[in-house]
Structure 1
Amino acid sequence: MTLHAHDIARATSEAPVDFVELTYEERLIRRKRITTANGLSFVVDLPETVGLDEGDAFVLEDGRHVVVMAADEDLMEVQGDLHRLAWHIGNRHAPCQIEMDRLVIRADKVMRDMLLGLGAVVKDLREPFRPEGGAYGHGRTMGHSHGNQPHEHAHDHAHDHAHHDGHDRLHTLMQGDAPAGSEDGHHHHDHTHDEVPNLRPHHHHDHKH
């Protein structure tokens, strides 16, 4: 008998039976067959399309939870005048991960050329993508599609602390204990094109060329 998941638990603290790693695009989901890290197969069949965040979980029809983790994907790290660069990225409705000393967006040649033209320093990397949500924390910024494939020669990039933190949180959940601070929820910042988004700190990233 095929298992189904008809519901989502947001930022769950319940111990999951397993986990699945999904890219940003894959986390926009309504109906899809999923196979977890340990081989559990089920069909996601939701009433409507939803955007998932890391830490959300699929609720199986038997009550078990499968937690969602952000998968590694091809991205670009952007440094420079972040307020100005963030405005131009937002003006193109591109999803963006905003941190204190960098912006992270999906790999895209047209965006790269635009940012380089604005004086940005752009580096290829491969890591989980956790962009800002919408006004209610789970929104999606629907960017313009440029029809370009990601850059083929991405630099090797060591997993950042955020990636390790995500897997540490998964380990904690698998042990059945709620992570510290889980009751605080996630704070997201929605902004219009005329506003400057808040920048949050992140841990230093070392790039290997």
Structure 2
Amino acid sequence: MPMQTAQTYRDHGHGPAVDRVTLTYDERFLRRKVLTTDSGAQVLVDLAQTTSMDHGGRLITDGGEIEVIAAPEPLIKITGDLTRLAWHIGNRHTPCQMGADHLLIQTNHVMEDMLGKLGATVAPITAPFTPEGGAYGHGRTHGHAH
């Protein structure tokens, strides 16, 4: 079976997925790479530009749509004064997933120490990481030149 190529990514599907690819947050930021799907098939992702792929997004191939799944990964669960803590996390341009009663960030001992000093309760967990996108567009932002 020849390797399929995905040159298009969509934020959502337009039909049933023929396969899935499970990737961490860092792995979901790519332009060109060979990925192995959950069924063991390989697909060459060859996008026009580097793209931040979201959980539930789709890679479009000639053989159909491949659903992108956020993989469980080591994270830090943060509770406390969420408004204050979110400000400090955002001020350091750290990707953050927000829940009703907690925040999640990737494992980072420097951030964990800082948040503890700010009164946060921090605990290691393993979960899919789907942080908020940038305010000036989808996905990730880079620097201050919005």
* TM-score, normalized by the shorter chain, greater than 0.5: yes
> Whose strand proportion is higher, 1 or 2?
2
Q: Please list every run of at least 4 consecutive aligned residues from structure 1 whose deviation after the TM superposition is greater than 4 angstroms.
A: none
SS of the equivalent of 2:115 reads helix
> Whose helix proportion is higher, 1 or 2?
1
1:167-182 matched pairs, under 5 angstroms = none
Q: Give the equivalent residue in structure 1 for 2:9.
A: 8
CA distance in 2, matches of 1:117, 1:109: 12
Q: Give the equivalent residue in structure 1 for 2:37.
A: 36
TM-score where L is the length of structure 2: 0.92
Distance 1:142 1:80, change over 3 A: farther
Deviation sequence 1:143-194 (CA, Å, 0-9, x none): 9xxxxxxxxxxxxxxxxxxxxxxxxxxxxxxxxxxxxxxxxxxxxxxxxxxx
Task: Give ranges in structure 2 of 5+ residues lacking alignment.
Answer: none
Task: Give ranges in structure 1 of 5+ residues lacking alignment.
Answer: 144-209
Q: Give the equivalent residue in structure 2 for 1:118.
A: 118
Q: Give the equivalent residue in structure 2 for 1:19.
A: 20
Q: Is the 8 A contact 1:133 1:139 kept in 2?
A: yes
Deviation sequence 1:97-138 (CA, Å, 0-9, x none): 011110000000000000000010000000100100123662
TM-score where L is the length of structure 1: 0.65
SS of the equivalent of 2:86 reads helix
Q: Give the equivalent residue in structure 2 for 1:134.
A: 134
CA distance in 1, matches of 2:46, 2:121: 42
Q: Is the 8 A contact 1:53 1:138 kept in 2?
A: no
Q: CA RMSD in A?
A: 1.5
CA distance in 1, matches of 2:41, 2:17: 12
